[in-house]
């Protein structure tokens, strides 16, 4: 089995490409930075005047999540992301559970961001009798208020992405760099000009005070749990570690810069938005909240609004595409590690793309979008599910980080999560991550909020994981693999292969030296105990 693991590592090393710090940052921002376009309206509609606090609460937890991912991604720069970290730390079973949660997120990613992209397209649609075409509703049997044109737009986008990915026309790093840079400049401009030209602190204060006295705590919890949507996307950076040259250098710089950029924008947009418009305006324009802010900036709104809508639609569509691509990467990694069938990674003979994975998960995303449009708010429903998958996966990743500090103290950690306590464990001094414990508690609280306040998420989310586990147990049993235990892997050789493929030669040398010191210590302990054993034998 270890041979198969090594082979997988060799195959994955072929994905590598040369990416600069700036290229890596903008590539990640093209995905992570898009989240605020979808989340802002949802969170303000739920948290009302307390939306900045909801974003700040989720953002502090997100910072700790980001620091944990930074450590793990730079230590284990492979394409598996969270599921690989869980498998390394906790074994095959929990690696699969993490993978199932992430697959849920990837399919919801396809649906949610396609819906959000279509919402920004609707910014340009004409209105008849005071109703925007994108908001036009029909009734179908017991289902009322189905936004039919918005649904059709979403389906066209999803099936277009599926077709493009089957053909093998993938988004380029250069396109991501350009869009990421433009979006970064645009968001900075909108926030700064909003504060300078349109922001009314009295409006923000009045909405804040009203919410403090009237908003039920359950609504605030609902809003703060949805706010995590604006911070997800770190998994895509972790997935891209396999395709990054010198990840030990690039990933920490990229991730830390990205973490704080997204945090500032999330809090900034909610603060400036509620100082320009009442929260009710965002609740009634949940599909294009950032464009609504830009449109209401004096002097420049007539240009900024449409431009923001175009960029929002584009960058959200790229985020939807990362769901298609991410599902392919994830299932490839899971199949190589004997967690799912290799049937999913069938390569198209003409286009050389994993056509089965692309079709299956794109269709799942389309189905989830269709079902979401049968509910009162498609974006709210999909946000429910997205929050469950993200928080469940993050909890497992935090546990994996803590366990790996003990199980694998020898792998060089180019970046280590701060605030640690030195603890002696089996002859080694281990840095126990206190901030990791705090992050785990924070994510657990967000998951509690999701389960407590999300009527759909607390049912559909666990149901997805349970169905995936039934498949996992049946497939492992059929292939005579351990059900609750793990397949044996030569992790030490794989780590050497991965670091060598990443051209991290200094880390390879440091890792080999650490293993040699460990083996030397073991031999010394054995030889030290031998004379005692001999004396006892003589007696």
Give the Cβ contact number of residue 462 at 10 Å: 13
Residue 211 lies in a domain: yes
Residue 145 lies in a domain: yes
173-193 and 301-336 are packed helices; what angle lies between their axes, rounded to 10 degrees? 140
pLDDT at 261 over 50: yes
> Where does the pLDDT of residue 151 fall: very low under 50, low under 70, confident under 90, or very high at 90 and above?
very high
Q: Structurally, how many domains does the chain consist of?
A: 1
pLDDT at 289 over 90: yes
Nearest to 291 by CA among 306, 271, 279, 276: 306
SS3 49: helix
Q: Give the model's pLDDT for residue 31.
A: 67
Q: Give the model's pLDDT for residue 214.
A: 94
pLDDT at 520 over 70: yes
Residue 521 lies in a domain: no
SS3 14: coil
pLDDT at 17 over 60: no
Residue 454 lies in a domain: yes
Residue 514 lies in a domain: no
Residue 537 lies in a domain: no
Q: Give the model's pLDDT for residue 11.
A: 42
pLDDT at 12 over 60: no
How far apart are alpha carbons 105 and 111 in whole angstroms?
10
Residue 528 lies in a domain: no
Residue 531 lies in a domain: no
* Kind plus residue range of the DSSP H or E element containing 457: helix 457-478
Specify the CATH number for the domain of residue 82: 1.20.1740.10
Q: Give me the mean pLDDT over the 197-201 stretch.
A: 95
What token pair was written down for 414?
A: 């180019």
Whether the CB-CB separation of 83 and 105 falls below 8 Å is answered with: no
**C-alpha to C-alpha distances, 389 to 220, 439, 506, nearest whole angstrom:** 20, 17, 37
What pTM was computed for the model? Answer: 0.85
> Where does the pLDDT of residue 532 fall: very low under 50, low under 70, confident under 90, or very high at 90 and above?
low
Q: Give me the mean pLDDT over the 64-79 stretch.
A: 88
> Where does the pLDDT of residue 525 fall: very low under 50, low under 70, confident under 90, or very high at 90 and above?
confident
pLDDT at 280 over 60: yes
Identify the weakest region by mean pLDDT among 103-112, 347-356, 452-461: 347-356
Q: Give the model's pLDDT for residue 278.
A: 96
Domain residues for 283? Answer: 2-503
Per-residue pLDDT tens digits for 23-47: 666 666 766 777 889 899 999 999 9
Q: Residue 308: left if φ>0, alpha if ψ -120 to 50, beta else—which one?
A: alpha
Mean of all residue pLDDT scores within the chain: 84
């Amino acid at each position: 089995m270890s041979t198969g693991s090594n082979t997988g590592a060799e195959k994955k090393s072929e994905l590598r490409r040369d990416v600069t710090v700036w290229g890596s940052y903008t590539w990640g921002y093209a995905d992570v930075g898009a989240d605020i376009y979808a989340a802002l309206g949802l969170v303000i509609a739920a948290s009302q005047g307390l939306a900045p606090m909801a974003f700040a609460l989720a953002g502090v937890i997100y910072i700790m999540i980001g620091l944990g991912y930074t450590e793990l991604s730079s230590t284990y720069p492979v394409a598996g992301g969270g599921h690989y970290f869980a498998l390394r730390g906790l074994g095959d079973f929990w690696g699969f559970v993490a993978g199932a949660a992430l697959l849920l997120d990837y399919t919801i990613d396809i649906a949610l961001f396609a819906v959000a992209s279509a919402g920004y397209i609707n910014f340009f649609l004409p209105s008849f009798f005071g109703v925007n075409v994108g908001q036009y509703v029909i009734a179908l049997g017991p289902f009322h208020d189905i936004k039919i044109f918005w649904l059709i737009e979403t389906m066209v986008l999803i099936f277009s992405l599926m077709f493009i990915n089957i053909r093998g026309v993938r988004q380029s790093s250069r396109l991501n760099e350009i869009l990421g840079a433009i979006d970064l400049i645009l968001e900075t401009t909108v926030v700064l000009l909003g504060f300078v030209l349109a922001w009314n602190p009295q409006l923000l204060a009045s909405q804040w005070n009203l919410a403090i006295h009237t908003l039920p705590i359950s609504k605030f919890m609902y809003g703060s749990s949805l706010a995590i949507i604006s911070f997800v996307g770190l998994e895509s950076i972790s997935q891209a570690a396999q395709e990054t040259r010198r990840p030990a250098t690039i990933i920490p710089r990229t991730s830390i810069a990205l973490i704080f950029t997204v945090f500032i924008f999330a809090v900034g947009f909610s603060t400036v938005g509620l100082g320009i418009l009442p929260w009710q305006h965002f609740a009634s324009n949940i599909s294009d909240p950032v464009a609504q802010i830009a449109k209401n900036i004096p002097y420049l709104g007539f240009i900024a609004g449409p431009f923001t809508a175009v960029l929002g639609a584009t960058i959200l569509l790229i985020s939807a595409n990362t769901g298609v691509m991410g599902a392919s990467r994830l299932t490839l990694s899971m199949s190589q590690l004997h967690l799912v069938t290799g049937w999913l990674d069938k390569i198209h003979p003409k286009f050389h793309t994993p056509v089965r994975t692309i079709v299956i998960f794109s269709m799942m995303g389309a189905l989830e979008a269709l079902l979401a449009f049968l509910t009162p708010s498609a974006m709210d429903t999909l946000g429910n599910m997205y929050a469950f998958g993200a928080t469940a996966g993050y909890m497992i990743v935090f546990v994996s980080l803590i366990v790996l500090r003990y199980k694998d103290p020898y792998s060089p950690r180019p970046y280590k999560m701060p605030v640690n306590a030195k603890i002696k464990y089996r002859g080694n001094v281990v840095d126990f991550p206190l901030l990791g414990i705090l992050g785990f508690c924070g994510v657990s609280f967000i998951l509690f909020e999701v389960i407590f306040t999300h009527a759909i998420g607390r049912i559909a989310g666990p149901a997805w994981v349970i169905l995936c586990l039934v498949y996992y147990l049946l497939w492992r049993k059929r292939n005579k693999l351990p059900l609750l235990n793990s397949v044996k892997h030569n992790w030490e050789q794989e780590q050497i292969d991965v670091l060598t493929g990443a051209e991290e030669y200094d880390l390879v040398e440091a890792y080999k030296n650490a293993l040699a010191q460990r083996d030397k210590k073991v031999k010394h302990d054995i030889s030290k105990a031998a004379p005692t054993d001999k004396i006892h034998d003589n007696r």
